[in-house]
Amino acid sequence: MENLKTGVIKNRRDGLSYSYEMKQIGLEQLTQVQALHNEVIDSLPDADLCWRFPLDHLTRYLGEDGVTVGVFVAERLVGFRVLYFAGERDDNPGLDLGLAPEELAQVAHLPLSNVHPDYTGNGLQKTMTLYAVAIAEHMRPFYYLCSNVSPKNYPSMAEKFAIGMRVAALKVKYGAFWRYVFCRDMRQAWKVNEESALLVESEDCARQTELLAQGYCGVRLERSVAGTKIVFARRLPE
């Protein structure tokens, strides 16, 4: 597998295009990752969109149980995506899905991705995720790809659906914030009954919780001026 990917992205601030390099990063880049993370979090219009991860989490993510991909423009870090094997730790999203203890080692978690505000809109999050997943599959094959996403975070929800993930649960995380638990079974795509499909507003957590308890899952989103809606459909037995 190639250890470097290159491309061109547009900077929103000056409207110019820049070459970038995407590569796996580690603890040597901890200071740059933390600085970019703080800059992104400080610029958020709504604190609900992404939790400010403490230093010990970032350190774990950049260590041996993580696959973190960074994007550099002229050697400056402008984006990163973390994939992490949480194993038996309590931040394994497999616990929210009721996976058996022996299956927790088969979960690859996508806990965090950040793109500098000057470079959003280039689809970098998706490119970084696919790159991190490809590296991780090579390194430590897994059954489940999971991620927690705020129902208010349109770019992150859109990215998860685009890579074949589905809403499998909805939980309160980080003390007070609603988070979808997205999941994709890497061995076999979930089948759903399209005739059962119905639309729910992404911020209607009560209704979505009800549907999830009745065996529905979230399969795609629809966005209009009125807001973002999620299409839920009944899961069929495998």
Ligand X SMILES: CC(C)(COP(=O)(O)OP(=O)(O)OC[C@H]1O[C@@H](n2cnc3c(N)ncnc32)[C@H](O)[C@@H]1OP(=O)(O)O)[C@@H](O)C(=O)NCCC(=O)NCCS
**Which chain residues interact with ligand X by CB under 6 A?**
40, 44, 49-50, 112-115, 120-126, 153-156, 158-159
For the CB of residue 43, give the shortest distance to ligand X in the complex, in Å. Answer: 8
Q: Return the number of the residue (159 or 166) whose C-beta is nearest ligand X.
A: 159
For the CB of residue 9, give the shortest distance to ligand X in the complex, in Å. Answer: 9
Q: Return the number of the residue (57 or 234) whose C-beta is nearest ligand X.
A: 57
Q: Residue with CB nearest ligand X?
A: 125
Q: Return the number of the residue (121 or 227) whose C-beta is nearest ligand X.
A: 121
For the CB of residue 237, give the shortest distance to ligand X in the complex, in Å. Answer: 32
For residue 119, the 8-state DSSP code is G
What phi and psi, each to the nearest 5 degrees, are found at residue 114? Answer: -140, 140
Q: Three-class SS of residue 123?
A: coil
For the CB of residue 70, give the shortest distance to ligand X in the complex, in Å. Answer: 13
- The secondary structure element, H or E, covering residue 69 is strand 66-73
Across-strand partners of 231? Answer: 199, 220
Q: Return the number of the residue (123 or 215) whose C-beta is nearest ligand X.
A: 123
For the CB of residue 234, give the shortest distance to ligand X in the complex, in Å. Answer: 28
Tokens describing residue 113: 């991705």
Q: Return the number of the residue (106 or 156) whose C-beta is nearest ligand X.
A: 156
Q: Return the number of the residue (153 or 202) whose C-beta is nearest ligand X.
A: 153
Q: In what order do the strands lie in the sheet with 227-235?
A: 5-10, 17-25, 66-73, 76-84, 107-115, 144-149, 177-185, 166-173, 216-224, 227-235, 192-201
Q: Please, is 2 exposed, middle or buried when counting C-beta atoms within 10 Å of its C-beta (0-12, 13-18, 19+)?
A: exposed
Q: Contact 71/39 with Cβ under 8 angstroms?
A: no
For the CB of residue 14, give the shortest distance to ligand X in the complex, in Å. Answer: 16
